[in-house]
Structure formats: structure tokens, C-alpha cells
């Protein structure tokens, strides 16, 4: 079988697995079918591209498990179907590409230069119009605010204050909150000066390191 055909079949199988795990939002499943996850892997690791697991991407970081990406994306899509989204923690760039496929205007911030460069290169290769920036994402991207959605893809000890300030009215933030060992997926929605909070299941993410996150020297 041709490599491309084999990868396409594996992608369909990944989407079937997501359905079995309870992901049922049609738009989200279509985006997972559309975005070629293997483009975010190096050639030597292609066989791991469609397994439902996190995978090392260098610099001690990981591309999130497809189920985790699908779960967070569904929480966002159900509350904020369109608009401008800020992702904190570009990593491989896969989550940002999924958001782009869903039609959002996507901005993403990464603190590790090597990862930011790799992700930007893939965005260019794929012709995706995603703006990426190097920096401490716990401070958000004030020049581009407000955002209808903010997605934090690293483990946060608390909700970074600057991110709350960059949500638009009725905007939602999806963020894994908790300890270094385990976090609960949390959705925060802005209503005027107040914020509603919903709490979901546990996950394990790499730490959000920054001024409003974990200290660099804790790890």
C-alpha cells in the first residue's frame, strides 16, 4: 500500500477511536479527518502519528494525545463556534492546525524557540494562516486581544490573570488546572465582570512555565 494511503487509513482509524471514546461533535471529527497529524512528526516517527497517545517532540515536550486535543476542542466548539482563538503552548502546532481547520482565526504562543520555529515551518508548508509568536503565553498576546476563545495546552497551577483580561464578552478559556501530577480540564466563561467556571475530567499535561504559571526552576 502507498504510504499516503496507509496514513489516510490510519487517520480514519484514529477518528473511529475518538468516536468510541465519546467524541461526537461532527465538526471536530471532520477536522481530525482533514488535518494530517503525521505532518507534525519527523519522518523517523511517522508510525506513531495516528496512535492515541502523546509523543515526544523534543525539548522535553510532547504533542498531546488525539483524545485530549479532541476533548478540549469540543469544549471550545460547543461554546464558541467561531471567532478569534489564542492558543498557549504551540508545541508541534497540531492543536493550532485543528483550530484553523474549524475556521477560527488562530494565534499561538510558544516559549521554546526551537518548537516555535518547527511549528511555523509546518504551518507555512501546509499553507495555514496561523500567527505564531515566541514568548511567555501566561501573559497572553495583548496586541491581538480580545479573543473569543483561549486554549491553554499546558498544566496551569492557577488561571493566569492576564488571560482573563484578554477574553471577549462571552468568551471562553479552556485550561487544565491543578498540580504538577494531575489537572482538571476547566472552562472559564466571561460574563461582564464575572466568570463562570465548569470543571471536567482529569488529564496530565506538561507544565505551563512562566510568570503566571510554574517557576522554571521547580522542574
Residues annotated as catalytic (active site), given as ranges: 64
By CB under 6 A, the residues from 4 to 33 that bind ligand SAH are none
Tell me the residue nearest to ligand SAH as measured from the CB: 89
User: If binding is defined by CB under 6 A, does position 115 make contact with ligand SAH?
Assistant: yes
Contacting residue, 41, 74, 86, 91, with ligand SAH by CB under 6 A: 91
Among 14, 77, 101, 112, binds ligand SAH (CB under 6 A): 112
Residue whose CB is less far from ligand SAH, 7 or 132: 132
CB of 155: closest distance to ligand SAH in angstroms?
Answer: 9
Stretch that binds ligand SAH, among 25-33, 42-50, 111-119, 184-192 (CB under 6 A): 111-119
Following CA atoms 10, 152, 182, 204 in sequence, which dihedral angle do they give, to the nearest 10 degrees? Answer: 20
Q: Does 73 bind ligand SAH (CB under 6 A)?
A: no
Smallest gap from Cβ 212 to ligand SAH, in A, equals: 8
Report which secondary-structure segment, H or E, holds 109: strand 105-110
Burial-class residue 150 by CB neighbours within 10 Å (0-12, 13-18, 19+).
Answer: buried
Burial class (CB in 10 A: 0-12, 13-18, 19+), 16: exposed
Which helix (DSSP H) or strand (DSSP E) does residue 19 occupy? helix 3-20
CB 96 within 8 A of CB 87: yes
Sheet holding 147-152, edge to edge: 131-134, 105-110, 84-88, 147-152, 167-178, 183-191, 194-203
Cell of 131: 500567527
36 binds ligand SAH (CB under 6 A): no
Give the shortest CB-22-to-ligand SAH separation in angstroms.
20
Instruction: Kindly list the residues in this chain that would bind ligand SAH in the complex (CB under 6 A).
Output: 61-64, 88-89, 91-92, 94-95, 109-112, 115, 136-138, 153-154, 206, 208-210, 213
Amino acid at each position: 500500500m502507498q504510504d499516503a494511503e496507509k496514513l489516510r487509513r490510519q487517520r480514519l482509524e484514529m477518528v473511529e477511536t475518538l468516536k468510541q471514546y465519546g467524541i461526537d461533535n461532527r465538526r471536530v471529527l471532520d477536522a481530525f479527518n482533514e488535518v494530517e497529524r503525521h505532518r507534525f512528526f519527523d519522518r523517523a516517527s511517522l508510525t506513531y502519528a495516528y496512535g492515541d497517545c502523546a509523543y515526544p517532540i523534543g525539548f522535553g515536550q510532547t504533542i498531546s494525545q488525539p483524545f485530549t486535543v479532541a476533548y478540549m476542542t469540543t469544549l471550545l466548539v460547543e461554546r464558541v463556534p467561531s471567532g478569534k482563538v489564542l492558543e498557549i503552548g504551540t508545541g508541534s502546532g497540531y492543536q493550532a492546525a485543528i483550530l484553523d481547520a474549524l475556521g477560527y482565526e488562530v494565534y499561538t504562543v510558544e516559549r521554546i524557540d526551537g518548537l516555535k520555529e518547527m511549528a511555523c515551518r509546518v504551518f507555512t508548508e501546509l499553507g495555514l494562516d496561523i500567527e505564531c509568536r515566541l514568548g511567555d503565553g501566561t501573559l497572553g498576546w495583548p496586541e491581538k486581544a480580545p479573543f473569543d476563545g483561549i486554549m491553554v495546552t499546558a498544566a496551569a497551577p492557577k488561571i493566569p490573570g492576564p488571560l482573563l483580561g484578554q477574553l471577549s464578552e462571552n468568551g471562553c478559556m479552556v485550561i487544565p488546572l491543578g498540580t504538577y501530577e494531575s489537572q482538571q480540564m476547566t472552562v472559564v466563561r466571561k460574563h461582564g465582570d464575572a466568570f463562570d467556571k465548569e470543571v471536567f475530567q482529569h488529564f496530565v499535561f506538561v507544565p505551563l512555565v512562566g510568570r503566571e504559571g510554574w517557576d522554571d526552576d521547580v522542574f
